[in-house]
Amino acid sequence: MILVTGGTGLLGSHLLFDLVSSGKSVRAIKRKTSDTGMAKKIFSYYSDKADELFGKIEWVDADIMDFVAMDDVLEGIDEVFHAGAVVSFYPKDHKAMLKVNIEGTANLVNLCTERKIRKFCYVSSVAVLGRAVNDGVSDETTYWQPSKKNSVYGQSKYGAEREIWRGMEEGLNAYIINPSVILGPGFWGGGNSGLFSLVWKGLKYYTRGINGFVDVRDVAKAMILLMDSDISKERFIVSAENCSYQKIFEYMAKYLGKPAPSINVPNAMTGIAWRVEALRSFIMGTLPEVTKEMATTTTMVYTYSNEKIRKALGFEFRPVEQSIKDFSEFFLKDHK
């Protein structure tokens, strides 16, 4: 049996869909407070039998911070896909994010090593690659460099990835994937899916930053192919294309039938924007719309090589424009 963490989230729900669609037996954890509604919605984008497929998942309440509960959850499990994490660029989440992402992963590593789980997949991020010193294209050998430019999210994923490497030294049969910015449908209210909503509402501004982008369906597919391969003790960047945010917004505008953002925000202006926003949110007691980390990410140039996974698996990525076209169709159906 397979265990999935993070199954209520964007990536985990797509992974669950692929696993149960191919007839695999799957257990997924959720927290008592979790909402599985969006995961079910994700199934409905891809199948007329969404309810039936979703009903095949064995959901168990457990928090990855709860060592004892996780030990019970692992009973009878052969393979683990660990996609659960706190993903946030809000300062209010920093402390919990570091704790859950690092200590929660350490819990799983220790339990899975002890139980001699057949194979373990950890979902890391390109945020752990040495972006600060590398002006060229980052690959799997571009190691973490301490820098003020590293986000707290990046620090948490780096700490978690180190736990996986430690586990591998202690006998855990694992591999790591490092996705770039994951594009996907459904979670229109926030995260990267929230970019569709911004463009839909008439976003006027863009920044000159460049980043790697990848379709959530390709990330899930790569995870399963690697699980079913002989490959372990390696990490793989999972990124379809390096694109500017301007281009991403242009594609979204094109397929949502909206005007593309046309005003470039110079880097210096984003520095002013997040400071003003921090003050406004402090006074109003609301979440800032732009944080320092968001402003930094969207103005920097980060590029990634996907050569390793393409060679290892013969993997072909969907073009980013195709992904945005498909997800725009889901967005338009959801906003009729």
Ligand X SMILES: NC(=O)c1ccc[n+]([C@@H]2O[C@H](COP(=O)([O-])OP(=O)(O)OC[C@H]3O[C@@H](n4cnc5c(N)ncnc54)[C@H](OP(=O)(O)O)[C@@H]3O)[C@@H](O)[C@H]2O)c1
> In the complex with ligand X, which residue's Cβ is closer, 220 or 256?
220
What are the distances in angstroms from CA 39 to CA 62, 187, 296? 17, 10, 30
Q: Candidates 1-9, 43-51, 245-253, 260-268 — which segment interacts with ligand X by CB under 6 A?
A: 1-9
Helix axes 105-114, 152-169, angle to 10 degrees: 10
Count other Cβ atoms within 10 Å, centred on residue 240. Answer: 23
Q: Which of 251, 241, 222 is nearest to 326 (CA)?
A: 251
Among 79, 84, 113, 186, binds ligand X (CB under 6 A): 84
For residues 298 and 206, give the distance between their C-alpha atoms in angstroms, rounded to a whole number.
Answer: 9
> In the complex with ligand X, which residue's Cβ is closer, 275 or 300?
300
Least distance to ligand X from the beta carbon of 128, Å?
A: 9
CA atoms within 13 A on the CB side of 10: 26
Among 2, 3, 6, 226, binds ligand X (CB under 6 A): 6
Among 2, 9, 138, 302, binds ligand X (CB under 6 A): 9
SS3 of 118, please? coil
Q: Does the footprint of ligand X cover residue 186 (CB under 6 A)?
A: no
Binding track over 188-227 against ligand X, x by CB under 6 A: ---xx-----------------------------------
Among 11, 74, 224, 248, binds ligand X (CB under 6 A): 11
Q: Which of residues 115-154 bind ligand X (CB under 6 A)?
A: 123, 125
Helix (DSSP H) and strand (DSSP E) numbers for the chain: 14, 14
Q: Does the footprint of ligand X cover residue 12 (CB under 6 A)?
A: yes
Helix axes 267-284, 292-299, angle to 10 degrees: 160
SS3 of 203, please? coil
For residues 128 and 102, give the distance between their C-alpha atoms in angstroms, rounded to a whole number.
Answer: 13
Among 64, 203, 294, 309, binds ligand X (CB under 6 A): 64
Among 3, 181, 240, 248, binds ligand X (CB under 6 A): 181
Q: Does the footprint of ligand X cover residue 63 (CB under 6 A)?
A: yes
Least distance to ligand X from the beta carbon of 206, Å?
A: 19
Burial of 282 (0-12, 13-18, 19+ CB in 10 A): exposed
Site residues (vs ligand X, CB under 6 A): 5-12, 29-31, 34, 63-65, 83-87, 100, 104, 123, 125, 157, 179, 181-182, 191-192
